[in-house]
Amino acid sequence: MTAGFREAVVDLGALHANLAALVARVSPARAMAVVKADAYGHGAVPVARAALAGGASWLGVADVDEALALRAAGIDAPVLAWLHAPDADFAPAIAADVDLGASSVAQLEAIAAAGAAGGRTPHVHLKADTGLSRNGVAPADWPAAAAAAARLEGAGLVRVRGVFTHLANASPEDDADQLRAFDRAVELLRAAGVRPELRHAASTAAAWNLPDARHDLVRLGIGIYGIPPFCDGTTAAELGLAPVMTLRGRVAAVRRVEAGAGASYDYAWRADRPTTLALVPLGYADGVPRQASGRAEVLLRGRRRPVVGRIAMDQFLVDVGDDGVEVGDEVVLFGDPATGAPSADDWADAAGTIGYEIVTRIGPRVRRTYVEGGA
Ligand SMILES: *Cc1c(COP(=O)(O)O)cnc(C)c1O
pLDDT (tens digit per residue) in 115-145: 999 999 999 999 999 999 999 999 999 999 9
Task: Please tell me the predicted confidence (pLDDT) of residue 1.
Answer: 74
pLDDT of amino acid 324? 95
Instruction: Name the catalytic one among 40, 127, 225, 265.
Output: 265
Q: What is the DSSP letter of 222?
A: G
pLDDT, one tens digit per residue, over 331-372 is: 999 999 999 999 999 999 999 999 999 999 999 999 999 999
Residue 373: predicted pLDDT: 79
Taking CA atoms only, the protein residue closest to ligand 1 atom 6 is 221
Task: Quote the pLDDT of residue 364.
Answer: 96
Question: Measured in angstroms, how far is the CA atom of residue 101 from the centroid of ligand 1?
Answer: 14
Q: What percent of the chain has pLDDT over 90?
A: 97
CA of 204 to the centre of ligand 1 (A): 7
Residues within 6 Å of ligand 1 by CB: 34, 36, 82, 166, 203-205, 219-223, 229
pTM, 2 dp: 0.97
For the chain, what's the residue count?
375
Sequence ranges of the domains in the chain: 12-225, 245-371
Which atom, in ligand 1's list, is nearest to the CA of 224?
9
Terminal-residue alpha carbon distance, the chain: 8
Q: Looking at the predicted structure, is the pLDDT value of residue 46 above 90?
A: yes
Backbone angles phi, psi at 347, to 5 degrees: -65, -40
CA 307–ligand 1 middle distance (angstroms): 32
Choose which residue among 79, 219, 244, 356 to substitute to test ligand 1 binding: the one with the highest number of ligand atoms within 8 A of its C-beta.
Answer: 219
Which amino acid appears at position 40 of this protein?
A: Y
Q: How far apart are CA 336 and CA 342, in angstroms?
A: 7
Q: In whole angstroms, give the CA distance from residue 230 to residue 236.
A: 10
Contact between residue 8 and residue 247 where contact means Cβ atoms under 8 Å apart: yes
DSSP string, 133-191: -SSSB-GGGHHHHHHHHHHHHHTTS-EEEEEE-----S-HHHHHHHHHHHHHHHHHHHH
Q: What average pLDDT does the structure give for the chain?
A: 97
The verdict on whether 265 is a catalytic residue reads yes
The per-residue pLDDT for range 210-237, each reduced to its tens digit, is 999 999 999 999 999 999 999 899 999 9
- Counting residues of the chain whose pLDDT is more than 70, the rounded percentage is 99
* d(C-alpha 360, C-alpha 99), whole Å: 24
375 pLDDT higher than 70: no
CATH code that applies to domain 245-371: 2.40.37.10
In the CATH scheme, what is the homologous superfamily, with its name and number, of domain 12-225?
A: Alanine racemase (3.20.20.10)
**Residue 115: strand, helix, or coil:** helix
* Cα 26–chain centre separation: 19
Q: Which amino acid residue places its CA nearest to atom 1 of ligand 1?
A: 221
Supply the pLDDT for residue 370.
Answer: 98
Please state whether the peptide bond connecting residue 28 to the residue before it is cis, i.e. omega within 30 degrees of 0.
yes
Cα(221) to centroid(ligand 1), Å: 5
- The active-site residue, picked from 36, 40, 225, 284, is 36
Res 337: pLDDT: 97
